[in-house]
Amino acid sequence: MSAERRSELASDGPIVVVGDDASEALARAYALRLEAALLTRDTWEAADPTPVVVWCDAEGPGLRGPPANAAVRRPPAPPVSRPGRDPLVRALGRPPAQLRVVDATAGWGVDAGVLASAGAHVTMLERSPAMALLLEAAVARWRASAHPAAARLTLREGEATALLSALPHHDVVYLDPLFPGRETRATSAVSLRWLRAVAAWSLADEGDLADDGRLLAAARACALRRVVVKRARADPFLAGVEPSGSLVGRTTRYDLYSGGAAAPT
């Protein structure tokens, strides 16, 4: 492979890879939607260095890192939630079936799936077009399998601060922002690195990943009851703002902030 081609593949732009022959049409559609380079599997595997890509095969779209790592990461199906025991669900403050929740940092959709499975109606916000594409495909699979959570999930693509200001008030806004130093567990480190790489495709610079103060203020203005912020247990408060309370587990902390739209927590 030429040095020019390697340089092209190492760029910060999105890349879609055709993982198998049957998925070429789907991969082409995704590449067009993302304005991305479209590569065959062999071409991508021959590249050095090999970036994170949107991978298309018979199972649908996912993210894949270097060929040495055989795993393709895809958004999971919503889990069966146990509302009385799940700390995220308890952090909502009320039975989830009574609540409209915004997951303003949807990412892989794991937490949105937990909340929707528990009965909440969840609007997912995702600024990365590639991650929004993956979430859209995942929700379609959940609907096809008749998972009850799928009917309670809505996806909006765009920057969270702007979308929050345009949304109607919701009962709870949930935040789990990406930020440097979050890679505290080996099992999550790869996923977080990949998320950052994919997020960077649509950002002017890495500093755009989060203006934490503006994000928290927008979340509080949208929330009728509270904002829930997920942190690692030892992390500082988001934007240095002390919450009104916290639910603290072994490794994770949920900080609680009053909503600015009306009701107290």
Q: Residues 59-117: pLDDT tens digits?
A: 999 999 876 666 888 888 777 767 678 999 999 999 999 899 999 999 889 999 999 99
The tens digit of pLDDT for each residue in 185-225 reads 434 556 666 677 777 776 544 444 458 999 999 999 999 99
Of 85, 153, 141, nearest in space to 113 by CA: 153
User: What is the pLDDT, as a whole number, of residue 57?
Assistant: 93
Q: H helices then E strands: how many in the chain? A: 9, 12
Phi-psi region of 155 (alpha: psi -120 to 50; beta: other; left: phi over 0): beta
Cα separation, 262 vs 265, in Å, equals 10
CATH annotation of 87-258: 3.40.50.150
* pLDDT category of residue 14 using cuts at 50, 70 and 90: confident
Domain boundaries, the chain: 3-73, 87-258
Report pLDDT for 10: 47
